[in-house]
Amino acid sequence: MKKLQGKIAIVTGSGRGIGQAIALKLASEGASIVVNDLDSGPTDDTISKVHALGSKAVACLGDVTAPDFGTRIVAAALETFGGLDIIINNAGYAWDGVIQKMTDEQWQAMLDVHATAPFRILRAAADYIREASKKEKTESRSFNRKVVNISSIAGLYGNAGQMGYSAGKAAILGMTKTMAKEWGRYQVNVNCVAFGLIQTRMTQPVGSGDAIAKIGEREVKMGIQPEFIEFMNKMIPLGRGGTPEEAAGAVYLMCIPESDYVTGEVVLASGGLVM
């Protein structure tokens, strides 16, 4: 029996990178997945891979910062699969700059994607979770639902040049601890996984086929200076950045029954790096 057989999961930003790895890890253990990305190409790729694992998937395209997105993605889970058991708030990106060069637009964009978007998704799911929990208790059925919010060591310790990103990633720590207290009565575990240096297009060396993320009408350049990556690798006790699959493994731990008595916690998946 697979550990997540019959479970229904939302994974935002799951068209590529860490999000795709999370979706595939959950699907490999039997979960049905609501896949999200900005474009149909990456989303279709993840759905195809989920199907190859023998699980079900449906797309919910769009920008997680859109005011109606939370309602849409929750509806996709309920209307397609008839329920919702796992919410992974993963979508995000970095738009960096030192404070004297950071615009209001940059600042707000980071808060919107890393804090406001997860808030709206959780708010949209609240009615279903409350009613489902009440019904299950009257029927003497009880099982734990899971929320895993994604943060970063930048949210825990700060990082020069990432005022907006760090603020957004810090905000979701407070949201996690608050929701653990609000939703504990409904048998929902709410935890946070904070990543260190994970090998994705966002952290690839600048100059090695620079990736550009198109966010609405904006184009945001991805990548890190090679010398900084070399420095970080020396600081990481395990000696290297993690893979998307290793990052997904940390999230998976917070989704399985073995973590049913863990809530309101922040788990570091950083290879031992503490900034």
Cα 25 from Cα 14, distance rounded (Å): 11
Q: Which of 165, 186, 252, 261 is catalytic?
A: 165
One-letter amino acid of 217: E
Place of tokens 């008595």: 261
Cα 146 from Cα 157, distance rounded (Å): 26
Question: In whole angstroms, how large is the CA radius of gyration of the chain?
Answer: 18
One-letter amino acid of 122: L
Q: Is the dihedral of CA 108, 202, 28, 46 positive or negative?
A: positive
| DSSP designation for 61 | -
- Active site (annotated) includes residue 165: yes
Q: How many CB atoms lie within 10 A of CB 266?
A: 16
> And the tokens for 136?
């299950």
CB–CB of 37/64 below 8 Å?
Answer: no
Residues classed as catalytic: 165
